[in-house]
Amino acid sequence: MTIKEFLLRLKLERGIGYQKSLAILTKLLSLSEVTLADLEKLPEEIKNLAIKAYSNPKHPQTISLLTKQCQIISFFDNEYPDKLRQIFKPPLLLFAKGDISLLKRPITTIVGARQATNYTQQALDLWMPRLSQDFVIASGLAKGADRLAHEAALRHHGKTIAVVGNGLNHFYPEENRNLQFEIIKNGLLISEYLPDTPPRPFRFPERNRILAGLSDNVIVTEAKSKSGSLITANYALYENRNIFALPGSVFSPLSQGPNELIKAGACPLLDLETFYDNIH
């Protein structure tokens, strides 16, 4: 079978998580096709798991159903974004609905607080007419700044990518259901999770590494001192992406995160000229 189908079988097999899948695939990197004979050569600690996934009679029907629900991109496919291949712990599979060609275009990720104020809205209204023409705008389809970023990009006839921390068959938060459909129609919705995977708190930090990894640039609008937006920024910093932060009042809790990023070396986003002067 193809390496892509084998990856899907590993994903579907109970008891095989990311690390075990990676250990198995590392031994098979030179192969485009996988056979039982190839799996017999694996180290004992992973051989039986690999053979079980390969031989499970339930997987073909499930894979057939998956391919009807969404597009599936494996780490080994040409459609897989090059920048994402380079990150620590790259997703081995991406499940997608929409225009997957957007993954190959320059991407700017915009994140911020779920309690984002009008300050974020005003900044996006100012930036987006130009930014959405030069970059695909990515965010996490959460409440607040994420939603505002997606909506602003679509409003200005730009393209947007939503990376979600659940399967594509879920809507989280529920209030973003219509926006999710609009993104599928005019952008791209992606996840590393099987389509029926429900949202759970630990999945959102995992999602943030993909948001950072896809991007050329990351912009943080408003965020508290400890927030998921700063997790995304830290991932982006580790992956040598351009980090920008919207400076704000020292008296605003939602400006503490961006101000701390600026103190740590992020570029203060004073205007779009600042942004374009500092991207590389």
Q: Which residue blocks in 56-176 are alpha helix, DSSP H? A: 59-69, 82-85, 118-134, 145-155
Tokens describing residue 107: 């991407």
Please check whether residues 120 and 179 belong to one and the same domain.
Answer: yes
Number of domains in the chain: 2
180 part of a folded domain: yes
Please check whether residues 166 and 212 belong to one and the same domain.
Answer: yes
User: Collapsing DSSP states into helix, strand and coil, what is residue 275?
Assistant: helix
**226 — pLDDT class (breaks 50, 70, 90):** confident
What pLDDT does 260 receive?
Answer: 95
The whole-model pTM stands at 0.95
Please check the confidence at residue 212 and state whether its pLDDT lies above 80.
yes
Nearest to 269 by CA among 233, 244, 250: 244
Per residue in 99-116, pLDDT (tens digit) is: 999 999 999 999 999 999
227 part of a folded domain: yes
Please check whether residues 60 and 105 belong to one and the same domain.
Answer: no
User: Collapsing DSSP states into helix, strand and coil, what is residue 15?
Assistant: coil
Portion of the chain with pLDDT greater than 70, in percent: 100
Map tokens 């992606």 to a residue.
Answer: 190
Give the structural domain span for 243. Answer: 100-278
Tokens describing residue 88: 């620590």
- CATH value at residue 108: 3.40.50.450
If you average pLDDT over residues 247-256, what whole number do you get? 95
Please check whether residues 268 and 192 belong to one and the same domain.
Answer: yes
What pLDDT does 259 receive?
Answer: 97
CA distance 173 to 199: 9
Residue type at position 269: L
* Cβ pair 212, 232 in contact under 8 A: yes
Please check whether residues 225 and 118 belong to one and the same domain.
Answer: yes
Per residue in 29-56, pLDDT (tens digit) is: 878 899 999 999 999 989 999 999 999 9
90 part of a folded domain: no
CA distance 11 to 88: 19
Please check the confidence at residue 183 and state whether its pLDDT lies above 80.
yes
259 part of a folded domain: yes
Please check the confidence at residue 280 and state whether its pLDDT lies above 80.
no
Please check whether residues 151 and 273 belong to one and the same domain.
Answer: yes
